Chain A
């Protein structure tokens, strides 16, 4: 047993507490003795492509746009593109061994993306799926189980397991004891709880803590753009689609321009977003109360806070005149936005560092995604790097904040989940 000396604890499981969603039986001992693959191994790419094709052909999967988006992510053409991007950087690498992924409870498919990262980096993966019974989770597990059961992929049978269990420290301890990397999604509280459970000495945790995000909009560029409804839909996908509760969902909106263009842009933008939200979003009563509470909290603590009038409570807007490091205190899910104007006079524009001097003051290490309209991503990255900001590790156009990538939260997941075999 190559791993027994590394193991911190080995807890015997009640068979009933852990449900194996895919494959049908859990063979922990077998998994622990498997050897890691090289990153982007042909066998793994073939498996993901087969999964992709089966998902796209599955009537139930087709009913869920997020499952189809996942299927697209897994298709050979996309993975080949990713492989080309990593190219020779990973040719001297192997997966670290066993990765244990703890997915958040309330996102249906994060577990699947996390699994794909672990597999592509070359690891044997144990994935804890959300404890809530999402239809999307069930579909992906069913189809993946079918693919794995085919003769072509039988050799990969011991390389992955998707499990589900209610809060159970014994089960978490058992999987933790045999992993080389533990990926903890689900935010600060979950991380704190899981970290109490030990992992072997050489193993480490990759944690995805609570983050928050912002959006910058150049007013003039927005007004020139053709299709406000399309932009509104993109913004909706970044925010309301996940109750504005994903770490990549912007909460602070920074407007840049002359007072007149900012005014006109806000009018057009918010009325288009409102039309979109009105059609698609159900505001739950508790969310409406939470948003009112957030507004009151902000008002009490910030004399500059002003509520911006809207026809209803679907979109809550709070205008503030200064930015500081505590903005996260007023965050609230379900469509509550802080707005800040960067007023730029007509004429030659000052440098982005000068324009964004106030914005830089609000960037903490908890800032994750900067989404934008009307900027060049290079100039925004230049601003982050030149000013050595402690946060922002993703810069994406509006509409793509939720798009998954192999670089997440500032981690290159392929590199983090593999090891280098160095020669001198």
Chain B
């Protein structure tokens, strides 16, 4: 798939009508491509009796449940062409998604991610403080979502240091040396939301260590589900960072290993924005119809990047609300939305306990 037209423009520059036209063309073409190239995908569309050439807009396209990538190896390229296999993070015993990237898809993901990130941080590379341990990126053969995130964002940095040691404790000396070295410079700070909270914010509070990160911009994502469980609000998360180390700019992002690159990032107004590379559609459970603005539903994510695996249109297990399109006061074009939680903790009746046990 030739995506040059997407890389030729700024990532938040397409208004509704031109974006719809472009997405319809590219995503319909991807549907036809995966139908031809991925036997499992073809069988699914055949079973649904969907003609891959019949869709007129990207709302009409079929979507796969993300969980399918945990159960099947879904590829639209020869295995010999796979250069990188990404896995989702999961606690031991849980099945993880396996996503297969060829050279082209991997390169497109990297390029799209750099466009999106540069629009928030500027195109100049910054020294990067990673609020995690170096241990998670040691095994390069398979990339977990956490490791892939760190490596992905590392490309936007000049110098890198990990703020946590291999035991997930604060590396106070390392942080101080890094800050001394980069006095007066802007900083990129990166981490997974739950790890930032658990191992950085809480540790600063406990130890009284107060590094000056007031020149830093933090990008954080993933693991927010665990924070919801602890009832930590986004506002409290940000306020705590500001108090403890002076971080004034914090951007949450929403992304998943199944659609690496096409992340949606929180703007200054606190809402997530789709870029030209992606879209979200909020769907009603009852008929998978498109929900209205403001109406909560299941989040479908679409990305123009996946060419080597059929992940361009996916139904997540997250609930969200579309807030608007093209008219966020921050000035970015594209849809903007909020993620409100997971849909998995539902109660099911029935005489077997296993359904619940298996999903907790």
Contact = CB atoms under 8 A, between A and B. Distances in A.
A and B: bona fide binding partners: yes
Interface of A: 104-107, 110, 185-190, 208, 210, 242-247, 249, 283-289, 292-293, 295-300, 303, 305-307, 309, 311-314, 318, 333-334
B344 interface: yes
A206 to B, nearest CB: 15
B47 A305 contact: yes
Contacts of A307: 47-49
Contacts of B358: 189
A106 B193 CA distance: 33
Nearest to B40: A300
B353 to A, nearest CB: 4
A312 B286 contact: yes
Nearest to B347: A106
A163 B328 CA distance: 56
B124 interface: no
A105 B354 CA distance: 10
Residue from B49, B347, B353 having most chain A Cβ neighbours under 10 A: B353
B346 interface: yes
B338 to A, nearest CB: 16
A55 B49 CA distance: 52
Contacts of A104: 350-353
Nearest to B289: A312
Contacts of A333: 348, 350, 355
Interface stretch (B63-71, B90-98, B264-272): B63-71
17 contacts: A106-B347, A186-B352, A187-B352, A189-B354, A190-B357, A244-B350, A245-B348, A245-B349, A247-B352, A283-B285, A283-B286, A285-B346, A286-B343, A287-B348, A288-B286, A289-B317, A292-B315
A234 B76 CA distance: 46
B185 interface: no
Contacts of A313: 285-288
B298 interface: yes
Contact of A187 (B298, B346, B349, B351): B351
The 7 closest A-B pairs by CB, nearest first: A245-B350, A187-B352, A299-B47, A312-B287, A285-B285, A186-B353, A288-B285
Nearest to A186: B353
A296 B349 contact: no
Contact of B346 (A286, A303, A305): A286
Contacts of A299: 43-44, 46-48
Interface of B: 40, 43-44, 46-49, 64-65, 67-68, 71-72, 285-288, 297-298, 315, 317, 319, 343-358
A292 B356 CA distance: 19
B71 to A, nearest CB: 7
A190 B354 CA distance: 7
Contact of B349 (A107, A186, A289): A107
Contact of B49 (A106, A300, A306): A306
A293 B68 contact: yes
Contacts of A292: 65, 288, 315
Nearest to A108: B349
B47 A105 contact: no
Given A107-B350, A189-B358, A296-B68, A286 B286 contact: no
B354 A210 contact: yes
Contacts of B343: 284-286, 289
A287 B346 contact: yes
Contacts of A107: 349-351
Contacts of A283: 285-286
Contacts of A249: 350
B59 to A, nearest CB: 16
Given A187-B354, A190-B354, A289-B285, 6 more contacts: A185-B351, A243-B350, A247-B352, A292-B315, A299-B47, A300-B43
A158 B230 CA distance: 44
Given A187-B354, A245-B352, A288 B346 contact: no
A247 B350 CA distance: 8
A247 B351 contact: yes
A293 to B, nearest CB: 4
Contacts of B344: 286
Contacts of A312: 286-287
A186 B285 contact: no
A312 B44 CA distance: 18
A176 B76 CA distance: 54
Nearest to A300: B40
B72 to A, nearest CB: 6
B77 to A, nearest CB: 18
Contacts of B287: 311-313
B357 A189 contact: yes
A320 B40 CA distance: 17
Contacts of A295: 44, 47-48
B160 to A, nearest CB: 38
A104 B355 CA distance: 11
A164 to B, nearest CB: 15
A186 to B, nearest CB: 4
A320 B350 CA distance: 26
Contacts of A187: 351-354
B49 A297 contact: no
A246 B44 CA distance: 28
Contacts of A246: 349-351
B354 A243 contact: no
